Chain A
Amino acid sequence: MKALRNIVDKLKPTFSEGGKLGFLHSTFEGFETFLFVPDTTTTKGAHIRDCNDMKRTMIMVIVALIPAFLFGCYWTGAQVGLEGLTAFIYGLVRILPMVAVSYIVGLAIEFYFAQIRKHEINEGFLVSGLLIPMIMPVSTPLWMVGLATAFAVIFGKEVFGGTGMNVFNPALLARAFVFFAYTPQISGEQVWYSNWTMMGAQVDGVTGATALEKLATTGTMGEWSAMDAFLGFIPGSFGETSTLAILLGAVILLGAGIASWRTMVSVFVGGLAMGYLFQALGVTEYPAWWHLIVGGFAFGAVFMATDPVTSAQTNTGKYIVGFMTGAIAVLIRVVNPAYPEGMMLSILFMNALAPLVDYFVVEANINRRKNRVKTVK
C-alpha cells in the first residue's frame, strides 16, 4: 500500500491545479479515489460519517447484475448450439467487446464533462455502462452500442447536469435510441441471430421470433414452456432472459438495501394486476404471470425501474410510479402487438411522470402542514 501511495503522491502535483497536466485533474482524481478512499475529514456538522459512499452503492448494483450477466454469457453460447463452458466462453467473448465499447465511450464522455465542470468523476456510469450491453441483443453492432451510449450519456445525463440530475434512465435511453434509430437492424427476425462463427457455433439454428412476440401474436409462448422462460432458456436481450438470475440480483439489491423494495414490488404487482384485468376481460387467455417471466419485464422491474434518480423520490410516489410502470408495460404488450416489449417505453414514460407524482405527494405534505394551522385555530 505504501509503495502505491508513494507513486500516487509523486504523480499528484503534475495533475493538480497549475501542474503540467492540471487539466486532467478530475481524471486523476477519479483514478486516485478508485485506489484510495481519500483522507478528507469532516470539518463541521456530523464529525463521523457512514462508511457507505457512492462507489460502494454502485458496485453493489454491479454485483447484483452478475448472476444475470453470467447466465447471459452461457445462454448466448447455448443458443448457437454450444454446451457448458464452451458456451459460456463464447458468450463472454461476444459480450465483452460490447461492454468495453459502452464503458470506453461512456466513461470518456463522463470524464470529459467532469473535467469541464471541475467536478469529481461520478460513479453513476459504472452501472449504466454494464446495463447498456445487457439490455441489447448480443448481435448489436459495436458502433451502434457506442453511438447509443454517447447519445444516452450526453443527452440523457450530461445536459441535465450529470448523475443525480437526469430525468431518464441513461441505459434505457440508449436502448430506446437504438430501437428507434435503427429499427430495421435491431427488430424483426434477425435480432437474435448470431453472425459469429467460432468455437463451432451453428449460426442458422437460432433465428426466429421471441417468446414475447409469440405471446403477443398467438397467445402462447410457442415452443417454450413457462419454466424455460423463468430459467431463461428463451431468446432475448443478453441479460434479460433469466428471471431466476434476475431474482438473485433482486435479492442482493434488496438485501443490501440499495434498491427500493417499494418500487420493485409495485412494478410486479402492477404488471400482474393489469395482466389479470386483461384476462378477466377476455382479451388474453394465457395466465397473467407469464408477463413477468418473458421479455424484459423482470429485468426492468429489478434494475431499471428502481433507479433512485429517475424513479419517484418519495415513498408514496414509489408505490404509484412502480404500479403504473408494471401496468403500462403489460398494457403496451397486450394492446399493441406490433410492439411486444412494453417495459422499456413504460419505464421511460414513468421516468417522465415521476416528478409529477412526487409533486403531488409533496404537495399533500405541504397541505397537511397548512391544514394544521386551520385545525388549531
Chain B
Amino acid sequence: MSKIITLRKGLDINLAGVAAKQCKQLPMASEYGISPLDFEGVTPKLLVKVGDEVKAGTPLFFNKADERILFTSPVSGVVAAINRGEKRKVLSVTVTPAEKQTYEEFPKLDVKKASREEVVELLLKSGLWPMIQQRPYGIIANPSDQPKAIFISAFDTAPLAPDYDFVLAAERANIEAGIALLGRLTEGKVHLSLPTVAPVMSQVEGAETHIFKGKHPAGNVGVQIHHIDPVNKGEVVWTVNIQDVAIIGRLATEGKVNMCKTIALAGSEVEAPQYYNVISGARIDSIVAGKLKQQQEGDSVRLISGNVLTGAKRAENEFLGYYANQLTVIPEGDKFELFGWMMPRFKKFSVSRAYFSWLCPKKEYKLDTNLNGGERPFVVSGLYEQYLPMDIYPVYLLKACMAGDIDKMENLGIYEVIEEDIALCEFVDPSKIEMQQVLRDGINLMIKEA
C-alpha cells in the first residue's frame, strides 16, 4: 500500500451539473477539427489542402519548430476547411468524416520489449506524441529529451471533472499497455497518482503508485510531481493524461489511431449532464445539440472545452480540444448587477466569509462567467497560498513574471507550475488579475531566453 500524501490546501468548488454516471455513444459529428492553438508554442506548417482525402492518423500539419511532431486527423474523410484568423494564422484544420472509417496502418508493438526508438517513432508518426507534455513549461515534450520520470494522474479534481474510474473502467488493459510503452521512454519511473477511492484505477499495474488525498488541485499532475519528485533546474519530466495513456496503449495493441474517448458533458446549463463517447476533435454543436437547457431571452451560455478553471472558450462551430476530457456549459454573466458588491449574494460563491457561502458548504452553485469586479493591483496577501499546495509563493512568482525577471522566476519555482496549478488562485483573486495568462507569458519568456 502506498503512502497517502495529504494536501490541506485547495478548494472544491461545488458546481451544479455533475455528470451522471451513464455513458452514451454519440453518432459521428458533422465535422472534426484540430486546432494548433490547443498546443503551446506550436506554429503549424500544413501538409494537406482542402479536398484531400485523409485517413484516421494521416498527418494534417506539423510543428515548424520541430518537424518530427505531427498532428494527425482523428477521423477519415475529406479535409473540409483550413480556418484562418488574423495574419492568416491557422485556427483549425477540419475534416468531414467519411461514412466508413479507414485507418492508417501502424506497426503493433510489443509494449514490454519495444526499443525507445520504435516507441518514439510510433508516437510521432501517429500524431499521439503531443499527448506527452513536459514540465517545465507545459509544452509538447521534446522527443530527444531523456525525462527523469513520467507522471500520470489517475484522477481529476477540477470542478465537474470526469471520474476516470468510471470513464476508463473498461480500458484497464489499454492503460497498462500505455504505461508499459511510456516506461520504454524513460530510464526513471512511471508514476501513477491515485485518489483515496478508486477501485478500478488502483488495480492498474506497471507503475509506481501514489495516493493523494485532498481538495482540488490534488488531482493536478503538477502538484503531484511537487510532492513525489519535484522538478529542479535542468531536469525534465513528462506528463500524460490518463485517458491519453489509454489511447496510446490502444495504438500499440491495435496498430491504428483510434481517438475515441469518453467525455463528461457537464455544467448547470446541460439538461441531463452525463458522459458521452466521442472522437477527439468533434464539433461542439454536434455534441451539445438538443442537450442544453432552454435559455431565456437575452441569456446565453458559455461552452468550455475543458473545465471551468482552465478550459478554453469555444463557439458552437468550433471543436473539442485535443486535451479536453470534458465539455462544460455554464451561463454567461454578461449582466449588470445593481449594487452587487453590497448585496448578500446568496446565490454566488465566495471563499471569503464576506459573503455567506461558507455557511452552506453543501450547496451546489450555478456560477456564471461574470468577472464580479474590476481589475486591480495585488492588494490582499495570504489568500493565494491557501489554494496552491506547493512550497511556492504565487504572488512573488507572478510579480517576477510581470517584471520579466528570469532569475527570480527560476528561483521562485517557475519550472514546477503551469496555468492549471494557479487556476484556483485566479478564481479567488479579489483583484481579478489574469494570473494564468501572466504565468504563461512568464513561461514563454523563459522558453525564449533559455
Contacts and interface: CB of A to CB of B under 8 A. Distances in A.
B233 A373 contact: yes
A351 B361 CA distance: 37
Interface in B416-440: 419, 423-424, 426-432, 434-437
A2 to B, nearest CB: 10
B264 to A, nearest CB: 16
Given A50-B430, A55-B341, A314 B376 contact: no
Given A36-B336, A50-B350, A313-B395, A59 B341 contact: yes
Contact of B396 (A57, A257, A362): A362
A51 B372 contact: yes
A49 B351 CA distance: 10
Interface in B310-368: 310-313, 328, 330, 332-342, 345, 348-355, 367-368
Contacts of B312: 44
B71 to A, nearest CB: 22
A229 B431 CA distance: 38
Contacts of A120: 374-376
Nearest to B148: A376
| Residue from A37, A39, A52, A315 whose CB has the most chain B CB atoms within 10 Å | A52
A296 interface: no
A35 interface: yes
B29 interface: no
Given A50-B428, A53-B432, A164-B379, A39 B334 contact: yes
Contacts of A43: 313
B54 interface: no
Question: What bracket does the count of chain B residues touching chain A fall in?
Answer: 35 or more
Nearest to A369: B413
A59 B430 contact: no
A197 interface: no
A54 B354 contact: no
B353 A44 contact: no
B233 A54 contact: no
A48 B341 contact: no
A50 B437 contact: no
B335 A39 contact: yes
B370 A57 contact: no
A86 interface: no
Given A36-B340, A164-B376, A314-B393, 14 more contacts: A33-B374, A41-B332, A41-B334, A42-B370, A45-B437, A46-B424, A48-B427, A49-B371, A50-B372, A52-B352, A57-B354, A60-B354, A162-B377, A372-B232
Interface of B: 13, 15, 159, 230, 232-233, 302, 304, 308-313, 328, 330, 332-342, 345, 348-355, 367-382, 385, 391-393, 395-396, 411-413, 419, 423-424, 426-432, 434-437
Q: Which 8 A-B pairs have the closest CB atoms?
A: A53-B373, A164-B377, A37-B340, A45-B436, A51-B348, A52-B352, A55-B341, A37-B337
27 contacts: A37-B340, A37-B370, A39-B333, A40-B374, A41-B368, A42-B369, A42-B370, A48-B15, A48-B159, A48-B309, A48-B330, A50-B352, A51-B345, A52-B428, A53-B374, A54-B379, A54-B430, A56-B373, A164-B379, A164-B431, A260-B382, A308-B381, A309-B379, A313-B395, A315-B385, A365-B412, A370-B411
